[in-house]
A and B are shown apart, each in its own frame.
Chain A
Amino acid sequence: MTKKQLGIRLIQMVVVLFGISFLTFILTYLAPGDPVQAMYSATGIMPKPEVLEAAREELGLNQPMLIQYGNWLTACLKGDFGTSYAYHKPVVELLVTRLWPTLKLALLSMVLMLIVSIPFGMLSAVYKNKWIDYLTRGITFFGVSVPNFWVGLMLMLFFCVKLGWLPVVSSNGDFKSLVLPAVTLAFAMSAKYTRQVRAAILDELNQDYVTGARARGVKESNILWKNVFPNSLLPLITMFGLSVGALLGGTAVVEVVFSYPGLGNLAVSAITAYDYPLIQGYVLWIAIIYMLINLIVDLSYIYVDPRIREKR
């Protein structure tokens, strides 16, 4: 990627972020629930209509839509994502405290996924139609057909309730409470990714140069590690970047299953409470995290693919 391409990419990112922010805003703007009522009903008292009206005025909910959006966006750019209706705390503060647990969970699942998927995907491709391939395909097929929250619940039932090895509620955020959520998340992700690794390696193994190398008597292990693997890295990295999206979405479900104190869990409770600023903040933050990860993925092409490097 040249400097110019990088520039174009960054501009695109800004445009997309702009779109996303508008979409998020529109969603909450059109939402049927009344945030002011939700705010007060959380406290348990139902005030007079005048008080509700005053609260709306104070929160700027009576202004025209575009002005509300403009105000919200400029505040966001300054790092002020508003105040949570339910917690009466700045959204940024709430999100920051939950950010690290979610990142920790996402990173650990990614590492687990890579450790499992790449060796098994490669084995499965190299020994195509042998027992290891059938086994891998069987397990991955199971993995993509089973709901990940159910896997989580079953693991919990077995390891926490029956065996009592791990805590049922992962709310304190230490390593022990991280294990099962990460394994659950990694399980579904690895199943998908292993299949993709297998397909990518098989694709490369069917190339003519591999037949050529074999004909010249190059050792099979050399072909695999010096030619096939480096060549299939590019699609593997691309697919990895895409699966991060599913991973970030998956964190929400898994966090709820294990009562894990992450962003997703916070967002789910925010939605139930019509806590609009918090929902907006969550969606924006996740979109930004996802985009940054994909930017890193794109940048890594430079190091992986010499052809891209030389074009500079």
Chain B
Amino acid sequence: MDKKTFKKVTFIIWCALAAAIILTAIFAPVVTGGVDPTSGTLTDALKAPGQGHLFGTDKLGRDIFTRVIYGARTSLTAAFSVVILVFCVGTLLGILAGYFGGIVDTIIMRIADMMIAFPGLVLAIAVAGIMGASIKNAVIAISLVTWTKYARLARSLVLKIRNRDYVAAAIVTGSKTPYMLVRYMLPNVLPTMIITAATDIGGMMLELAGLSFLGFGAQPPTPEWGLMLNEGRSFMQAAPWLMIYPGLAIFIVVVVFNLLGDSLRDILDPRDE
């Protein structure tokens, strides 16, 4: 097997695993056999992993396995929302800044500079905390501090081609601005932006879980991994399984998406060849 097919095969493997995770999340009710993730029987509280409850139960007698599976829904939806949001906003603003230059560029990039002068998570904590704790606000908070990276990247890619002759030729021959943006600028930035977005999914999940852990993301009784870790913290000694399984779930999902991003980069990035 040569290097190229090997890269393609690994990519397909990670794609399949990611698809499996997404399908598990979508078909959570089927996977868990119809158990309700938000209600439990108190007599079953804090049962160790074993018969009837694969991963044990929490303080309210809710099945941890069910909650971990349903947690994938929350995490995946939130992480994809963040990535899609910053991808669209960042790419759009970056292209505009790079293409038009001048005042548009100055305004957009100065705002981006200001955001970058902040440690990301600190601002995200402040935004999520102040707007009120909810998974939606956590998504907004993380998007607010992440779009700058995409905008800078898109801008730098546009600047690379902005002054090429073929771009000038297209403008002189009467191409309208929207056409220039969509047909000339966008295709040039898209591959790099997609790679960045793909490699960012895992990181976004970690940040979202972090916010939920602090209590600024998902709210009880939503099954969310970060929140489950926070709830399980006080039972560390008596019921360590409350912390082990949600953590493993985050880890496995993040690993799969990170590797998927890496292998996508290997395929699309021409630098290696």
Does A pair with B? Answer: yes
B250 within 8 A of A: yes
Min CB distance, B134 to chain A, in Å?
11
- Complex Cα gap A144–B255 (Å): 9
Residue-by-residue, is A123-157 near B (CB-CB < 8 Å gives 1, otherwise 0)? 00000000000000000010011111110011011
- Name the residue of chain A whose CB is nearest to the CB of B213: A149
Q: Which residues of A contact B132 (CB under 8 A)?
A: 31-33
Q: Which residues of A contact B244 (CB under 8 A)?
A: 154
Among the 9-residue stretches A52-60, A224-232, A283-291, the one with 4 or more Cβ atoms under 8 Å from chain B is: A283-291
- Complex Cα gap A258–B258 (Å): 28
- Complex Cα gap A24–B130 (Å): 10
Q: Which residues of A contact B218 (CB under 8 A)?
A: none
- Complex Cα gap A31–B110 (Å): 25
- Complex Cα gap A145–B118 (Å): 23
Q: Is the beta-carbon distance between B126 and A147 smaller than 8 angstroms?
A: no
A252 within 8 A of B: yes
Which range contains the number of A residues in contact with the other chain?
35 or more
- Complex Cα gap A29–B30 (Å): 46
Interface residues of B in 172-197 (CB under 8 A from A): none
- Complex Cα gap A27–B113 (Å): 18
B25 within 8 A of A: no
Residue-by-residue, is A188-227 near B (CB-CB < 8 Å gives 1, otherwise 0)? 0000000000000000000000000000000000000000
Among the 9-residue stretches A61-69, A78-86, A241-249, the one with 4 or more Cβ atoms under 8 Å from chain B is: A241-249
- Complex Cα gap A290–B114 (Å): 12
Known: A250-B121, A252-B121, A279-B130. A147 touches B226 (CB 8 A): yes
- Name the residue of chain A whose CB is nearest to the CB of B125: A252
A157, A268, A286: the one within 8 Å of B214 (CB): A268
- Complex Cα gap A247–B202 (Å): 18
Min CB distance, A145 to chain B, in Å?
4
Q: Which residues of A contact B240 (CB under 8 A)?
A: 157
Q: Which residues of A contact B254 (CB under 8 A)?
A: 145-147
A92 within 8 A of B: no
- Name the residue of chain A whose CB is nearest to the CB of B129: A271
- Name the residue of chain A whose CB is nearest to the CB of B243: A153
B127 within 8 A of A: yes
B121, B125, B247: the one within 8 Å of A150 (CB): B247
A28, A148, A248: the one within 8 Å of B122 (CB): A248
Q: Is the beta-carbon distance between B251 and A144 smaller than 8 angstroms?
A: no
Interface residues of B in 101-151 (CB under 8 A from A): 110, 113-114, 117-127, 129-132
Total number of B residues with any Cβ neighbor in A under 8 Å: 41
- The B interface, classified by DSSP as helix, strand, loop or mixed, is helix
Q: Is the beta-carbon distance between B125 and A145 smaller than 8 angstroms?
A: no
- Complex Cα gap A17–B124 (Å): 17
- Complex Cα gap A282–B123 (Å): 10
Residue-by-residue, is A238-277 near B (CB-CB < 8 Å gives 1, otherwise 0)? 0000001111111011001100000000011001100000
Q: Which residues of A contact B210 (CB under 8 A)?
A: 147-149, 253
Interface residues of A in 17-52 (CB under 8 A from B): 17, 19-20, 23-24, 27-28, 30-33
- Complex Cα gap A33–B123 (Å): 18
Q: Which residues of A contact B110 (CB under 8 A)?
A: 19
Q: Which residues of A contact B247 (CB under 8 A)?
A: 146-147, 150, 153-154
Q: A20-B118, A150-B243, A268-B215 given. 11 additional CB < 8 A pairs?
A: A19-B117, A145-B258, A147-B251, A153-B229, A157-B243, A246-B121, A247-B119, A249-B120, A256-B213, A271-B126, A272-B129
State the B residues within 8 Å of A (CB).
110, 113-114, 117-127, 129-132, 202-203, 206, 209-210, 213-216, 226, 229, 233, 236-237, 240, 243-244, 247, 250-251, 254-255, 258
Q: Which 5 A-B pairs have the closest CB atoms?
A: A249-B121, A271-B129, A245-B119, A150-B247, A19-B114
